[in-house]
Amino acid sequence: MIPNQWYVILESCEIKKNQVKGFTRFGEKIVAWRDSRGCLGVFRDKCPHRGIQLSCGKVKEDYLQCPFHGFEYDTTGRCTLIPANGKASQVPDYIRANSYPVKEAHGFVYAWYTPQPLNGKIPDGGFPEVPWFDDLDDSLISSSFTDLWKAHYSRGIENQLDVVHVPFIHHSTIGRGIGPVVNGPYTRQGENSISFWPFNEEDRGQLPLKPDQVPEPPKKSVYITFIFPNLWQNHIMDSMRIIVAFVPIDDEHTLFYLRTYQKMIKLPLLRNLYFEFSKIFNRIVLKQDRTVVETHQPQATSLKMDEHLISGDHPIILYRKMREQLKTVNRDS
């Protein structure tokens, strides 16, 4: 995991008002809940009193109540009531749930991941903006689904940066008619992002162009962008995109949140039919990937490991270098 980053962990619609939900992220049990005003709290799923899972509790008068002894917490994790001590007693500041800073944007819940809980504190310099795609606006309508992989989240990400596998794994779907020879791909590196343009062709005995030999692609061409730490977009055209959030559950499981965005079809009935067909097709494509990605050895990737990457793996190489750099910088900061 890259520390000190905003990670997508849920869709906002998964947590309703007065609802409590337990799940696993970052290899830890986590509880998310909303009060009656819709304010969201995300804690490590452990009551600081006796270690009971708070996800077994309930929302009472805008506070999360532990089911064991009735301790109550606000959305920041601060304990506001210890029933055994009475309402008139003052709650010690050190009794608080380990809370994650959270933000909601673009229909997602983002959690600020750090190995040591901040417990309501704001880091020096404040928090950066949550990651998102500048070219994705509100004119596009989306539909989403989830897909669980038995794989480390870094393998899921690298699979979506891999242009070499497409004509083989996806020969019956998105790889149909795509040649095996990988030119480039043409790649641009941002501060916290990678964008690349696939340019495969049939093998006619030619040598593939290296990444620095590929000419700049036309503006209307298909391209892919990954934003650290866990967001990916396939920019098929201005009116159609696919977004994936690779949500790390633990070292061996990743939950894919896949959204299809489009603005071509506006009639509700036709639009719903389009989205249903899109879900079926994308599930087929993901299943083709998942079948092989889950066999990776080892699962978690690193900059230096027992693999022999080739020129066509340039986006993966760049991802590993940037990921290692971010881990080092954020670990030391």
Encoded tokens for 281: 């097709």
Encoded tokens for 278: 């899109």
Q: Judge contact between 206 and 238, C-beta under 8 A.
A: no
Ordered strands of the 102-105 beta sheet:
5-11, 108-113, 102-105
Angle value at C-alpha 106, between 221 and 262, nearest 5 degrees: 40
Written out in words, the top-level CATH class of the domain with range 141-332 is alpha beta
The partner residues of 34 in beta bridges, in order of sequence, read 40
Angle value at C-alpha 9, between 260 and 134, nearest 5 degrees: 50
> How far is Cα 280 from Cα 254, in angstroms, rounded to an integer?
20
pLDDT number for residue 281: 97
Q: Judge contact between 225 and 212, C-beta under 8 A.
A: no
Q: Judge contact between 250 and 151, C-beta under 8 A.
A: no
DSSP letters spanning 86-136: -TTSPPPTT-B--BPPEEEETTEEEEEE-SS--TTPPPTT-PPPPP--TT-
pLDDT number for residue 332: 53
- pLDDT tens, per residue, the chain with 333 residues: 899 999 999 999 999 999 999 999 999 999 999 999 999 999 999 999 999 999 999 999 899 999 999 999 999 999 999 999 999 999 999 999 999 999 999 999 999 998 777 776 777 778 999 999 998 988 999 999 999 999 999 999 999 999 999 999 999 999 999 999 999 999 999 999 999 999 999 999 999 999 999 999 988 889 999 999 999 999 999 999 999 999 999 999 999 999 999 999 999 999 999 999 999 999 999 999 999 999 999 999 999 999 999 999 999 999 999 999 999 887 754
> How far is Cα 140 from Cα 235, in angstroms, rounded to an integer?
12
Question: What is the DSSP secondary structure assignment for residue 304, as one 8-state letter?
Answer: S
Closest residue by Cα to residue 150 from 290, 297, 327: 290
Can 5-113 and 141-332 be said to share one CATH topology? no
pLDDT number for residue 10: 97
User: Within a 10 A sphere around the Cβ of 18, how many other Cβ atoms?
Assistant: 14
Query: In terms of CATH, what superfamily is 5-113?
Result: Rieske [2Fe-2S] iron-sulphur domain (2.102.10.10)
- Where are the domains positioned within the chain? 5-113, 141-332
Residue 318 DSSP SS3: helix
pLDDT number for residue 120: 66
Residue 160 DSSP SS3: coil
